[in-house]
Amino acid sequence: MISLPMAQIVYVTCALTSLLCTVLLWQNWRKTGIRLLLWSALCFLGLTLNNVMLFVDIVLFPDTDLSILRTLPAVLGVGALVFGFIWETSP
């Protein structure tokens, strides 16, 4: 069995959990057409990419600082969710 440090296991688990949330939200949006589910799925897609980039930054390239590149998908994802909240509540 491959032994991984606990931090790497947590990074991978967080990425897989975010991906699962993305898929479930996307499927429910396709089924129901509720747009808030779409905005939430886009947010979790950004969070998934952020978690993957975190793993790449810290585990695969520890000597390179990718903090701006890994934070950008999360900011865009949360921005999409905020935009969706505003869009859905405006008259």
Tokens encoding 27:
């499927």
In tens, the pLDDT along 31-90 reads: 999 999 999 999 999 999 999 999 999 889 989 999 999 999 999 999 999 999 998 887
pLDDT score, position 3: 64
Q: Where are the domains of the chain?
A: 19-89
Per-residue confidence band for 2, with pLDDT thresholds at 50, 70 and 90: low
User: How far is residue 55's CA from residue 15's CA, in Å, rounded to a whole number?
Assistant: 9
DSSP assignment letter at 62: T
pLDDT score, position 35: 93
pLDDT score, position 19: 98
Per-residue confidence band for 20, with pLDDT thresholds at 50, 70 and 90: very high
